[in-house]
Each structure stands twice: as C-alpha cells, then as structure tokens.
A and B are shown apart, each in its own frame.
Chain A
Amino acid sequence: MKKNILAIGSLLVMLSTLMLTSCMDEWDAPNVDDYSVTSPTSVGEPNITIDGLKELYFQTFSQTNSFVLVEDTLIVEGIVVANDEGGNLYQTLVLAAEDEGKQVDVSNCIVLAVKSTFLTPYFPMGQKVRVNLNGLYVGCYSKMPKIGQPYYTSSNNLRLGPMLFELCETKVQLIGSPEEYCDSIHPIVIYDDSHPLIAQESEYQNYMNAPMLVTVYGKFADGDDKTILAPDELKDAGMGVDREFKIGKKTITVRTSTQNDVAFLPMPTNEVALTGVFSYYDGWQLQLRSTADMAVFQDVEPEDNNGNE
C-alpha cells in the first residue's frame, strides 16, 4: 500500500518536472540582417533616368490623372528622399536621381507608390532603389508623377495607385546601403518669395519639376503656437487638412494627413522652416515627411537662396 502511494507521488513529481522543463513555445530571434522584401537578384541594368522617363511618357505625365502600362523593359534608379517615416506620407516613396559626383538631385523626383503601410524599414532615406518598370504603370495622380498600378479610390475614381507590395520581390532591387547617400540629400531652400520657384511659379509647376524636396521659410497664416496642423474635425475627403503658409507675400499650402505625429504639431506664431515634398495642383503644396521637418527659424541656417543649396 505504502509502495503504491509512494509510486503515485513519485510519478507525479517526475511528470511535473517534465512539464516545467518542456515548454514547446520557446523561440530564439532569427538572424534577419539580410532580410529583404525586394529582389535578391538583379532586376536589370538601369537604362533610363527619371527625367528620361518623364520625357518618354510626357503625354501621360502632363495630364492631371492618367496612367499607362510600361511594356518595355525600362529600368530606372532613384534614391529615397522621402518616405512614410512620420506617417504623413502614405504608401509613398519619393525617388530622386543621382547626378554626377554622387549628389542627389532633389529638383525632379518621382513617386514610387507601394501598397503597404510603413515602408520605411524596407526603404530608408538614402536607399538607392532600382525598379524594373515592365508591367508596372506610370502616370499622374492629381498631377503627381508616379509609378504604381491602377485602382479605384474610395470615391470610385479610377486612378494610378500603389503597386502591389508583393511585386517588390521581382520588380524592385536595393542598391548599396542608405548610408552612401544619406548625407547627400539636400533640399532646395526657399528663403523668401524671391526664389524662382515662388516668384516664377508657373514656369516650374509642371511634371518635369514635381515633386521636389524643399525647405521653405515663412509663417503659418493661422499660427498661434496652439492650433495643430491637422485636427481630425477639419479633415477633407482625402483625410488631410490644408494650411496656408506665407512665404513673403506669396502663399503655399501645407497639406497634412490626420492621425499621425505631424498632424499634432502646433503651428508656431513665429517664422519656421519646413522641409518636405513639394508638388503642385492649383498652387504649390508641401507635405512634411516627419515632425523633424518643422524647425523654428533660428535653428536653421540657410545656405543660399538661389534654388540649389
């Protein structure tokens, strides 16, 4: 009898020990240093520039909303100068060309739209990407030159939207590391309304120039140090809020999506420097990339005012 009871007890202890040491849901972190969502092999050698692409498809790019299928094997390269790091740009990578001397030409970019939220980890700032456009579409979305695929908007309009994220695996290749270009990204600085982009805006508001990466100096028309950039109650059908921004005597629009950190930035009363993606529709429009793109005036030292750096 005693033996039996002891046997049960001993078995219980053994099994409990076994249970405590045999958890089946223990995991070591995988090594993801080489992880990528893009093509591990070459998508082809670049055979066209961003400029060249816009010129080749000028009839499409020159319209407000349009798109066309790229049927040839066109390979374009660009460096990421804006992404969705701050949540204000959605499914958007802005690619700039590399000019001679490994400098990044932010005066004439194109949007690579990809259907996924938070692209930044895969496409950080400064990352050079190569895109095989064959099978993709190029065109404009509200005058913004873009690479992507057509879709129906929430207003039931057929537009050029983002390409499938899954296609990155075959259409997009990462070239080098972002560090190579990170320090070479210098926005065009617009210090006042005498800058050609402002003073002669109609000459620059076209598909060949837009989008650009710029830094503008000026004041918010409604700046009071309290009112935030994009309160939810003011959002329009595009889920964004437009704010007037004065550069000298001229006014541009600062457009901000709601529900991200940028949206909650208070509009300063004083002059500020804003950096972001510069595009046009009725007039110039600026979209900040992240909260770091708003700096108080005294924090920024303009290098010159001639439209370069």
Chain B
Amino acid sequence: MSKSVKLVAMLLCLSTPMWAQESIDTLSQQDNSDFTFTESQLDDDNDAAQTVSAIASSKNDPFLSEVGYRFSPMRFRVRGYDNMYEHVYMNGLQLNDLELGRFSFSMIGGMNDATRNQEGVAGFEYNNFGLTGIGGGTNYDTRASQFAANHKITLSGCNRNYVFRGMYTYATGIMDNGWAFAGTIGYRWSHEGVIEGTFYNSLSYLLSAEKKINEQHSISLVTFGSPTERAQQGASTEEAYWLANSHYYNPYWGYQNGEKRNSRVVRDFEPTAIASWEYKIDESMKLNTAAGAKYSRYSTTALGWNGDAYDPRPDYYKNLPSSIFDVYDLKNRNNPEFLEDNPYFLSQYNDLYDYWKESKANRQINWDRMYYVNQTQNEAGGEALYYQERRHNNQFVFALNSTLNKTIDQNNKYSLGVQFNHTTGMHYKTMQDLLGGELYRDYDKFAANEYGRFGKDAWNDLNKVIFDRDGNLLDDSKAHIHEGDKFGYDYNILVNKAKLWGQYQYNYGIWNLWGAAYGEGTTIERDGKMQNGRAPKNSYGKSGAAKFLGGGGKVLISVRPFAAHKITLGASWDSQAPLARNAFVAPRMQNNFVDNLTLEDIFSGELGWQFRFGSATGKISGYYTKFMNQVEQTAFYNDQENRFTYLTMTGIDKVHYGIEGAIVYQVNSELSFNLMGSIGDAKYTNNPYAQVNYEGMNATTNEALNEWINPVTGDNMPLRVIAKDVKVGSTPLTALSLGANYNVNGWYFELNLNYYNRTYVGYSAYRRLANILKNYNAVGKDETGRPIFNVEDPDGERDPKQILNEDGGIMFDQEGKVVKTYSPRLEKYHGGLMLDGSIGRSIRLKDGKAMSINLSLQNITNNRNLRTGGFEQNRDDLYSTGVARAYKFSKNSKYYYANAFNFFLNVNYRF
C-alpha cells in the first residue's frame, strides 16, 4: 500500500511540470452542460479570461438552481452582473483570480464527474465556506471521501467546440485504514469544431487523496489541471457574415499548404494543488483550513504587423464592399441616380463582392501572402512585416482560507473566517512565428512612425539598445528578436489581499435574521521588466504599491408567516479595491496608476417571496443594485490611430434592477411544468472620467489625447465618456422559459422553450469620448431662459431629437456649462426563441452497476439569427477633417450568434 501511495504522490508532484508546456480549456459548466462557449464574448484584444455566464446554483432558489443550465446558450448573466461577483471555492479555498476577479472555469474543464459535489448559494444566503459576493458562490468539494466508491466511464459525442469527450473516474471511498483516493482523467478533442477553422485538444485530470486521521482530524490533498490547446472563433460584422453566407463565419483562420491554420490559438494550463485540514473541535464547532497554490500558464496567439504592412485581417473594413461608398446614405449615395451618374462606385462594390464570393480562401487569412512578403523582406535585408505573437498571462497564486463554524443551538450559529491571497501575474509576449522572416527588431513600429526609429522613444526595452550621448543608436543587436524571445512588453502585477469576515444567523419563531460583515486590505503593484522608450523613467522596476482598505456587510431578514410562504428582505454594502487589471493606465508600457483610483462601492437590495400553492412552488424576487466609483478599462488595437490603445474609465455609476422568478407545477410524480424568467435593466447612470493612452506615444503626446476643450470658454476640461443610460451589453435583459419534464420507468424527457430579448451590443467607450462626440454651443435662450441649440441634419431627413439620440452630443449653454449629454444609440438585438430538449434513460444493472444515456438537443428549430453578444468597433465615422467616411463603423458592430442546432450525446457506465 505504502508503495502505491508513494507512487501516486510522486505522480501528483510530477503532473505539474509534465504539462508545464501545455495548455487550456473551454468554459464548461456543471454536469453535462458543455455548451459551445468560446471566448466569443471577449473583446478581440482583451485577455480577460472569460465572461461566460457562470452562475451559482442555489438549491434553495428554484430560479438560480435552473437558470445556469437553461439560459447559458445565450450567455445569460444573472442580473447582468459580471462573473467576478460570484465567488468560487474548492474545498474551502477561494479561487477567484485577483487580477480579473473571475474564476476561470477552464481550470476544471473536462472533469465534470469530479466536480459534481458542490454547494451553491445565492448572494444572501448563509453558508459554511465563505462570505460570497452579490452574485452568490459555489464550493466544489473534491475531497476523496466525497466521491462514490466506484469506477465510472463517460463517453460523449457532440457537434460543439469538441466532438469527442471521454472521462474515467475512480474512487476508493474511505478505506479501513482511513485513506480515500479518487481520480479522474478526461480528454476532449476535435480536429475541427462546429465553428470552421477551430480545433480542440484538452486533457483533464484530478487526483485526490484524503486521510481521516481520527474522529477529529482529516487532511486532504487534491491536484488538478486541464492542459488545453484550442483555436478560437472571432466576431465579425453582419456584412462579412452576409458575404460568407453564414453567421458562423470565422475570420481567424486561413489556408496554409492546403490546411486550415488559425491565427488565434490558446494554450492554457492551470495546475493547482489544494491541501485542506478539517478539525472537528467538538460536536458544534468545526475548523476548516485550506491552503493552495496555482501556477497557471495562459497564452494566446495573434497576428502582428508593422506600421507599413497592410492589415492582414480578412474582414478589415477596407476589404469590404461597403467601404466603397456609404450604403446607408439612401438619399445621396445609395440610390439609382447617384450610382448611375457615378458607375465606378457600384463597379468597385461589385468587384469586392465578387472577390469575397469567389472562393472561401479569399475571405480568410492569406498566410501565403504574409510568408511571401517576409521572404521578399529577407532578400532586401529588411525586417519581417508580419508575425505571430504569443501573449502570455501567467500567474502564480498562493492562497489560504480558514473558517470556523459554530452552531450554538438550534437557533443560533456563526462563522468566522480569514483569507489571504498573494498573486503574481506575469504578462509578456513572445515571438511565436516569424512567418518566414529572419529579422525583427524590438521597437514599436507605430512609435517609430511617430518619433523615428532611430530615436529612443520607439524602443520597447532600452536595456537592450545602446545610444551615444547625442542620442545616436550605436548597437541594437540585443533587440533582435528570434522565435521564442520575449519582446514588446514584460511586467508582473503583484496583488495581496487579506480578509477577515464573520456571519451570524439567528432564528426566532417565524423570523430569521442573518448578518455578515468583513474587512479587507489589498495592495496592487506593478514590476516592470523592460525600460520602455516612451516611458523611460516609469516603466522599469516597481511602481510602489497602491493600498486599499475596504469592507462591507450584509443583512437578511426573513419571515415565514405561513408554512408555505417565506418573505425575505436583504441588503448589502461593499467597498472593494478596484481590480488590478484596471489599475494601471497602460500596464504593458508603464507603472503609472490610473487617476482617481479609489474603492469601488456596491449597494444591493433584494426582496423575495418563496411560496407554495398546492402543487405549485416557486420564488419571485425583486432586486436593485447600485455600483459606484467603478473602474473599467478596455484595451484594444485602435484602427483609427493604428495603435494599441488603453481607455480607462473611473467614477462609473451603474444600476441593475428587475424581477426574476421561477414556478414549478407538479402535475403528478411523473410530469411537471415550469415557468421561469428574468426581466431587468442594467445601465450606466453617469458620464465617467476617461483616460486614454496610446502605447506607441510618449507622455507628452498622450497628454494631448486627453484634452477636451470647452467650446465656449476654451478651457481644458477633464475628459469623460458619455455613457449615461448605456445598457450593459452581451446578456439578455429579458429571458423567459417555459418547460416540461416527464419521468417514467427510468426514462426522462425535458423540453424547454426559451425566449430572449433586450440584448444589447457591447458599447465602445472610445466612440463616446466627449472629445469625439459633437459638442453643441447654445445659440440663444428661449423665453424661459433655456438655451437653444442649432441641431440640424444637412440632409434634412432627421429631426434634432433623432440626431442627438442616434449620434449623441454634448450641449453647452452660453456660459460654457454642460446642460445635457446624449450618448449615441446603442444597438438592441432582435429577440427570439430557442427550443431545447433532452431525453435520457437510466439503467440499473446487476451488482450495483448502472448505466445512463442522455441526448441533449439544443436549438432544435435551428434558429441561426440569435445574437448572443458582440461589440461596437472602436472607431468613429469621421476623418480627422470632419468629413464622413464611406464606411460606417457605427453601423458595423461585430457580433456573435448562438449556435445552430447542436446535440450532446452522453453515455456513462458505473461499475
């Protein structure tokens, strides 16, 4: 026995380095709900791990217990909250990422059977593992003793991100000697997923050992990981989808040597180990302590090109027919008279249309062209113009949680806890593939256009180049980049967080009172590994730590006036440090913190009614949440300026409110119907401050970007984003579902008709900058003293109100005071229906063996027009001259669509 234990222990230790070069996953959720999530909801250049809805499933809440499974295909987020407000634990250790706030579900992808033991709670709910966020929390219990003692083999086939999945799980249960072991191994694969040009290759493992030392003490060790390599899907415009004749067109791939090569390949591996100790102090008191470490390696590739090279993206706007003339201007351009008088426009439009339609290769990445260009550059002694870079976001995390749970009596109990987390985020990029190029120097090609490549400003790391006293470049040999070398940026983000919390629950007759409070301290620091030429004095070395002292609390009062009815009223206040990912003005380049960086505040209130009327049970809740002083940062490649751009907003206020609920009507023991839904609103309520930073520009030039000149007084004002009333995007604000379940003789059937509406596109803060929107001066006052504005459509087709609502604008009175702001209209998607169903059978075999088969069908009616997400392009419609471009970025957002009809067949055998 001891030899076997040693062997397994050795494998546990070896498993991390063995896969250290490997990678990630999907965002699979619980059970078999391996929905075809891709990073569809991500900004193109956003490394945020995921925004896919991961919903705490509370068994006490019929809405929360179902909503995750039911609405996931549309990427529904409960109450419109970001996933960071749901806290995820494993064996009592909180695993939310301190930089992004979210839990990375890819960590546990493909180990469904091993993560089945879980406790989910809503935001206002007592639990034994930690104080959760407003989005609730989940604790996965993967201790070996919690696994059923058996073997289980699961085989799955589907037409989603992957086409095959196999899992094997084995657990011993607690043996006579007090030991328990469990392990699961899974593999998911597709040569090509349901989205063209994607592939999937993922191994998963979880190994768990537990020793029950005596009646009081039990220790456990679990290690898991899911090394994955997968290719991504990109969003595109409706025009590109139309030309490709598919809403599943993927612009990320192209042919190379006749094979489909994807430009965006993710590698992810987050090996984690958690040791836990359960100490039953006495019958009423228990201490759970968990400590864990994670060394995650996440990277994704992307194409890079220098300032002179043509943008290689196939759906780059200049490649699209609508870049030829304004197809939306029906009066002046897109009408028979104009096109007849100017036949060359329609001719060019048709030429591009034909080119797109002519062959599939024409609308995909042209790898051969990039290789060819680089080859000619080699011959000319020039630098590679195209390359593929790999952006790394690695992390080392050490965390410790300890929770004391005490049950005083039937009516009183409390918990006390302490949490600590140290995270070092390591961010850098390496040269993945020079695409046949032989020379690449590490200077910013766009900065070189701005400042000249022979000057210091252009170089990304001054430690690699030598200049003389007069600023003349003497030696750049160390800045010659080869495949595998770091280049561009290299920095660490250090975050420490310590938290003390406690909660108390008191029952008195029909009343129940729960209160919780916490205090926490957070430090955030950047440690630059390169001396950037645009920020030579504040890029290399440490930034110094920003310190935040926060805290908050929750109160819940519930009353049960009748046995079948319960009314709850909860309120909470949180004051939390901003996320590290939002804290730096341009983290890839320099150490400066964002201006106005303060604690973020959240108030949340909820009123719920849980009821039972005969065979009908359910719960209806109303909620109101106000976010204050939030910080958000978007980082993107700015087509307009040809530069990587950071836009940080501070002082953001938002509200989320609405109602949600679920009713289940049990007709008999075999048949039930259910109705559930959520109707709410989530929007910005102010115009936050903005800070723009171009990576290729130095401090002086960047300062000019942030100017907003008052058109009346001429004063420079703090720059703002006109975001008031902008809706939170990429989640349906209306989601309703009617379902039926039928179970008979081991068979079970489920059919759900889901309706989604009021999904908005993700808004571009850049397009809403106050210095980009039109500023209107008052031209006089009316008889009541209110300013009068001259808002006119040159074509005379739209009235002033329509112009302001569609295009946005800022109104200044005659004294130069802003009296009203209008944010450009945000696109709302069409609503739609989706029919999902499943059929299954459980079969009990001899000797305790069992088998089950389940077939899930999603989007049975094959609705291919349901948009799940997307984002506005970060460009405006005008040239710097103020003249309108032919191409309308404002009408060409990029979208993702819900998957077409798909299935998931799952067979498992327990023995």
Q: Is B422's CB within 8 Å of the partner chain A?
A: no
B243-263 contacts to A (CB < 8 Å): 256-257, 261-262
- Complex Cα distance, B880 from A149, in Å, reads 23
- Complex Cα distance, B344 from A27, in Å, reads 42
| B residues near A120, Cβ cutoff 8 Å | 376
| B residues near A158, Cβ cutoff 8 Å | 342
Tell which of B179-187, B395-403, B505-513, B731-739 binds the partner: B179-187
- Complex Cα distance, B642 from A81, in Å, reads 29
| A residues near B231, Cβ cutoff 8 Å | 24-25
A205-256 contacts to B (CB < 8 Å): 228, 232, 237
Q: Is A56's CB within 8 Å of the partner chain B?
A: no
Question: Judging by beta carbons under 8 Å apart, are A117 and B257 in contact?
Answer: no
Question: Judging by beta carbons under 8 Å apart, are A12 and B15 in contact?
Answer: yes
A12-67 contacts to B (CB < 8 Å): 12-13, 15-16, 18-20, 22-25, 27-30, 32, 35, 37
B570-624 contacts to A (CB < 8 Å): none
Q: How large is the interface on A (under 10, 10 to 19, 20 to 34, 35 or more residues)?
A: 35 or more
Question: Judging by beta carbons under 8 Å apart, are B4 and A6 in contact?
Answer: yes
Question: Judging by beta carbons under 8 Å apart, are B449 and A260 in contact?
Answer: yes
Question: Judging by beta carbons under 8 Å apart, are A4 and B172 in contact?
Answer: yes
With both chains docked as a complex, state the minimum distance between the C-beta of B876 and any C-beta of chain A, in angstroms. 13
Question: Judging by beta carbons under 8 Å apart, are B308 and A117 in contact?
Answer: yes
With both chains docked as a complex, state the minimum distance between the C-beta of B23 and any C-beta of chain A, in angstroms. 9
Question: Judging by beta carbons under 8 Å apart, are A25 and B265 in contact?
Answer: yes
Q: Is A204's CB within 8 Å of the partner chain B?
A: no
Question: Judging by beta carbons under 8 Å apart, are A12 and B344 in contact?
Answer: no
Partner among B170, B199, B448 whose Cβ is within 8 Å of the Cβ of A8: B170
| A residues near B345, Cβ cutoff 8 Å | 150
With both chains docked as a complex, state the minimum distance between the C-beta of B190 and any C-beta of chain A, in angstroms. 10
Question: Judging by beta carbons under 8 Å apart, are B256 and A4 in contact?
Answer: no
Q: Is B1's CB within 8 Å of the partner chain A?
A: yes
With both chains docked as a complex, state the minimum distance between the C-beta of A214 and any C-beta of chain B, in angstroms. 24
Question: Judging by beta carbons under 8 Å apart, are A5 and B371 in contact?
Answer: no
Q: Is A155's CB within 8 Å of the partner chain B?
A: yes
Q: Is B140's CB within 8 Å of the partner chain A?
A: no
Question: Judging by beta carbons under 8 Å apart, are A118 and B348 in contact?
Answer: no
Q: Is A199's CB within 8 Å of the partner chain B?
A: no
Q: Is A69's CB within 8 Å of the partner chain B?
A: yes
Question: Judging by beta carbons under 8 Å apart, are B371 and A19 in contact?
Answer: no
Map CB proximity to B onto A102-137 as digits: 1 under 8 Å, 0 otherwise. Answer: 000000000000011110110010000000000101
Q: Interface residues of B: mostly helix, strand, loop or mixed?
A: mixed
| B residues near A135, Cβ cutoff 8 Å | 347
- Complex Cα distance, B348 from A167, in Å, reads 9
Q: Interface residues of A: mostly helix, strand, loop or mixed?
A: mixed
Q: A4-B172, A27-B256 are in contact. Are A150 and B8 (CB under 8 A)?
A: no
| B residues near A1, Cβ cutoff 8 Å | 1, 4, 172, 175
Question: Judging by beta carbons under 8 Å apart, are A9 and B172 in contact?
Answer: no
Question: Judging by beta carbons under 8 Å apart, are B203 and A16 in contact?
Answer: yes
Partner among A5, A19, A165, A261 whose Cβ is within 8 Å of the Cβ of B4: A5
Question: Judging by beta carbons under 8 Å apart, are B229 and A261 in contact?
Answer: no
Partner among A19, A32, A121 whose Cβ is within 8 Å of the Cβ of B19: A19
Question: Judging by beta carbons under 8 Å apart, are A154 and B881 in contact?
Answer: yes
Q: Is A164's CB within 8 Å of the partner chain B?
A: yes
Q: Is A78's CB within 8 Å of the partner chain B?
A: no
Map CB proximity to A onto B453-472 as digits: 1 under 8 Å, 0 otherwise. Answer: 11100000000000000000
Q: Is B44's CB within 8 Å of the partner chain A?
A: no
Q: A8-B170, A264-B452 are in contact. Are A117 and B310 (CB under 8 A)?
A: yes
| B residues near A28, Cβ cutoff 8 Å | 257
Q: Is B514's CB within 8 Å of the partner chain A?
A: no
With both chains docked as a complex, state the minimum distance between the C-beta of A149 and any C-beta of chain B, in angstroms. 6
- Complex Cα distance, B254 from A165, in Å, reads 19
Q: Can you give 25 contacting A-B residue pairs, CB < 8 Å?
A: A2-B1, A4-B172, A5-B7, A5-B8, A8-B8, A8-B170, A9-B11, A11-B168, A12-B207, A15-B185, A15-B187, A15-B205, A19-B22, A23-B201, A25-B229, A32-B372, A116-B310, A117-B309, A117-B310, A118-B373, A149-B344, A155-B883, A165-B310, A167-B351, A261-B448
- Extra contacts, 10 of them, besides A32-B372, A149-B344 (Cβ < 8 A), are A4-B172, A5-B181, A12-B207, A24-B199, A29-B435, A30-B368, A35-B369, A118-B309, A156-B883, A259-B307
Q: Which 5 A-B pairs have the closest CB atoms?
A: A264-B452, A259-B449, A154-B879, A121-B376, A35-B372
A: which residues have CB within 8 A of B? 1-2, 4-9, 11-13, 15-16, 18-20, 22-25, 27-30, 32, 35, 37, 69, 84, 87, 115-118, 120-121, 124, 135, 137, 149-152, 154-156, 158, 164-167, 228, 232, 237, 259-261, 263-264
